[in-house]
Chains A and B, each alone.
Chain A
Amino acid sequence: MKKLILIGLKDVKLILRDRAALTFMLLAPFLLIVGLGFVTGQVGRGSSGIEAIPVAVANQDDGRLGAALVELFESDELAELVIPTFVTDATAARSRVDADQAAAAVIVPAGFTDSIIPRAGQLPAGRAIKLEVYKNPGRPVSAGVIQTIVEGFISRVETGRVAGEVIVMRALAAGLIPPDQIESFATAMGERLATTLAGESAIRLRATVGGGEQTPFNPMAYMAPGMALLFLMFTVSNGGRSLLAEKSQGTLAQLLVSPTTGAQVLVGKLIGTFLTGVLQMLVLIAASSLLFGLRWGDLLGVFVLILAVVFGAIGWGMLITVLARTPGQVAVVGSAVMLIFGILGGSFVQLSMVPAWLQWLSRLTPNAWGLDGFTILGMGGTLTDLGQPLLGLTVMGLVLGALSVVLFNRRSLLQG
């Protein structure tokens, strides 16, 4: 074990003395975070959080649900986050977005409530009428926040509707209501549940930190981990490259004629890459916290998530290494994978804004799982809320690691 650590620490020392690698690992992601901060207006402002998102709301529905959505946008809970402008029709709402006066328009079509909660004497509509969120492409993050609010609202309406049906069926079966009063009972119950639940805040926007201080959601807290995860892939592929570099510079052969096994060399180098990746993430997180005042959330959760995300990423790094034959090939493939995973995994575009199939595909990347985890923590979650991301990343690291070991043995890379 001591030998494994010594090999790993030697690699960390070498990386820390490699200016080019350090530039890619630390400076490049940091500069990108700063750049994106300027683009989104989050750097150089007095406040670092997303605030006052202008949104146009057109409520054409004359039922309780349309009114509940309007109430939600007017609520105190969203007062700091959104500035709603209420317009009469959908065209006017879309025009505000097209003129960049709003990040998004929320359009509640006529008959929305009736399509979900039928009036007395009416049959339920075959299909619920859809709410529309018309997004401003120039403000992707703000539009994404509005979409999330509306999705949460819909989710709660649906919960209320299903709960109402269950209650009515059970009440009927138990003989608590006579059959001739089912309709009036169901209408009243459905309306109460749907509007009560819909009136709740769709997303938890405030996280309690430290002594009860409230912090707003900050998109930099999405961009910063996005960039850190993007460049983490560089670090893990660089780790693979260092194994092949040891081969070409003769030190691998020298290690193998010392009392050191091939497995010890491999695991030692993986430990080196793991420590480097963790160090990179910690430095980026510390720097962004100090310079931009970013709140990454529960410290224990952040640390465990970093360990998991580096583990998952190393799986890919190992696979790239065993499939390549030279340090140059690892560099080229590693850079390509870094960019593809960055795009696919949500480092550049929020995953909620891409098609469902792409979201599914993103699960192949450590970036997507890592971003999920950092978003959960940024929204006030703790280590106990990280089950899915931690599981996804651990499985990724184990499966890819095992696959790499099998391929590595077959190619007998070490013995030439």
Chain B
Amino acid sequence: MGNAMDTILEARDLTKHYGDVVAVKGISFEIKRGEIFSLLGPNGAGKTTTISMLSTLYAPTRGDAVIAGHSVTREPMAVRRIIGVVPQGLALYDDLTARENLIFWGQMYGLSGRALSQRVGEVLAQIGLTERAHDRVKTYSGGMKRRLNIGIGLIHRPQLLFMDEPTVGIDPQSRRAILDSIKELNRQGMTVLYTTHYMEEAQELSHRVGIMDRGELIALGTQAELTQQVGESETLVLHLSPHEDAETIAQALRAIPGILRASATDHQVALTTRHAKEILAPVVAQADARGVKIHSIDIREPNLEALFLHLTGRALRD
């Protein structure tokens, strides 16, 4: 399977069934050493299940993955020494301090003595918690807990770091700090598999992106390769009043010539077109005629969200 010098992870036909439900349907992809690879997709797309199989938490129903030369199904213990995992939820002991948490997890990876103490100090500095190192975790803010969660994934200097939606539910400042720290880790040579349903995060961080939907990998490549699939299409996004029925309006606007696709989410209507400026006037006129109140209009150039819409007919956050 692939060249071990370039490829740190190679997944082939990874499949996971939960009873009759197929959570992941035979996905295959590679991750190169030193890159940030993102799995982008809405909630329920199968991203977390994929990471769970790659991190040896769940055995695949079918297929396998090789990480740095070790099979996740046949050599799980060897794989666990190579990878670090930052789970979607917090996995911390609230009644221990940050330092005690890091020491415990470091011990679980076989670190001890001076090496452990030194590494704990480094990680605390890296995640900006040195001054609060001796406070119990239960006194921390959500953002601080998230940073410690990441620190635990880094404590043993893994070759490959899995990060499962690490910015969910935190404030913009903490989110910015986390994204910056991931870029810094990558600059230092760490390979990262990052999952998110935020298109902006995937665009900002990733060298390559895999787009997942309903358990399948529906697109894979660099951002440039992916946006090319959408062609020259632009997206016109109408922000409506909360009482408006976005679905009915989307249906009505589909009839306007030049609109390739129309979809509705919450209080927004997204219209895919080749010439956004040209269809702007008839769209506004049609809305006026139906008595629809438009708060604002965005014109977006081709991006991953447009690609997802193009491939699935649904918005990324459906």
What is A's interface to B at a CB cutoff of 8 Å? 3, 6, 10, 13-14, 17-18, 249-251, 253-261, 415-416
Contacts and interface: CB of A to CB of B under 8 A. Distances in A.
A222 B59 CA distance: 53
B104 interface: yes
B87 A14 contact: no
B170 interface: no
B244 to A, nearest CB: 40
B85 A257 contact: yes
B245 to A, nearest CB: 40
B56 A254 contact: no
Nearest to B90: A250
Contact of B109 (A256, A258, A416): A258
B109 A257 contact: no
B224 to A, nearest CB: 34
Nearest to A18: B95
A416 B83 contact: no
B9 to A, nearest CB: 15
A10 B93 contact: yes
Contacts of B29: none
Contacts of B57: 253, 256-257, 415
Interface string B97-113: 00010001101111000
A415 B53 CA distance: 11
B92 A251 contact: yes
Nearest to A255: B108
B15 interface: no
A251 B57 CA distance: 12
Contacts of B89: 249-250
Interface in B134-161: 136, 152
Contact of B104 (A10, A18, A256): A10
B91 A254 contact: yes
B268 interface: no
A3 B104 CA distance: 10
9 contacts: A18-B95, A250-B87, A253-B57, A254-B105, A254-B152, A255-B108, A256-B56, A259-B109, A415-B58
B162 to A, nearest CB: 9
A250 B91 contact: yes
Interface residues of B, number: 27
B235 interface: no
Given A13-B100, A250-B89, A254-B105, 13 more contacts: A10-B96, A13-B96, A17-B95, A17-B96, A17-B136, A251-B93, A253-B91, A254-B91, A256-B57, A258-B105, A259-B81, A415-B57, A415-B59
Contact of B80 (A6, A259, A415): A259
Nearest to A9: B104
Given A10-B104, A254-B152, A259 B77 contact: yes
Contacts of A254: 85, 87, 91, 105, 152
Tell me which of B90, B108, B136 has the highest count of chain A C-beta atoms within 10 A of its own C-beta.
Answer: B108
A6 B104 contact: yes
Contacts of B92: 249, 251
Contacts of B50: none
A249 B136 CA distance: 16
Contacts of B55: 257
Nearest to B85: A257
B107 A6 contact: yes
B80 A257 contact: yes
Nearest to B92: A251
B58 A416 contact: yes
A17 B101 CA distance: 14
Contacts of A6: 104, 107-108
A75 B57 CA distance: 73
Nearest to A251: B91
B110 A249 contact: no
B108 A249 contact: no
Given A254-B85, A256-B57, A259-B80, A3 B91 contact: no
Contacts of A14: 93, 95-96
B58 A3 contact: no
Contacts of B85: 254, 257
A249 B109 contact: no
Contacts of A250: 87, 89-91
Q: Which 4 A-B pairs have the closest CB atoms?
A: A250-B91, A254-B91, A17-B95, A258-B108
A8 to B, nearest CB: 12
Contacts of B58: 415-416
Contacts of B109: 258-259
Interface string B51-91: 00001111100000000000000000100110101010111
A260 B107 CA distance: 11
A253 B92 CA distance: 11
Contacts of B105: 254, 258
Contacts of B91: 249-251, 253-254
Contacts of B80: 257-259
A3 B96 contact: no
Contact of A257 (B83, B95, B104): B83
Contacts of A256: 56-57
Contacts of A13: 95-96, 100
Interface in B179-228: none
A13 B96 CA distance: 8
A42 B193 CA distance: 67
A13 B87 CA distance: 24
Contact of B56 (A3, A249, A257, A416): A257
- Give the one of B77, B95, B96 with max A CB within 10 A: B95
- Most central of A6, A256, A257 by chain B CB within 10 Å: A257
Contacts of B104: 6, 10
A259 B95 contact: no
A18 B136 CA distance: 12
- The CB with the most chain B CB atoms within 10 A, among A253, A260, A416, is that of A253
A255 B57 CA distance: 10
Contacts of B90: 249-250
A3 to B, nearest CB: 7
A184 B79 CA distance: 91
A14 B94 CA distance: 9
A253 B48 CA distance: 13
A14 B58 CA distance: 28
A259 B83 contact: no
Nearest to B86: A254
Given A14-B93, A259-B81, A3 B108 contact: yes
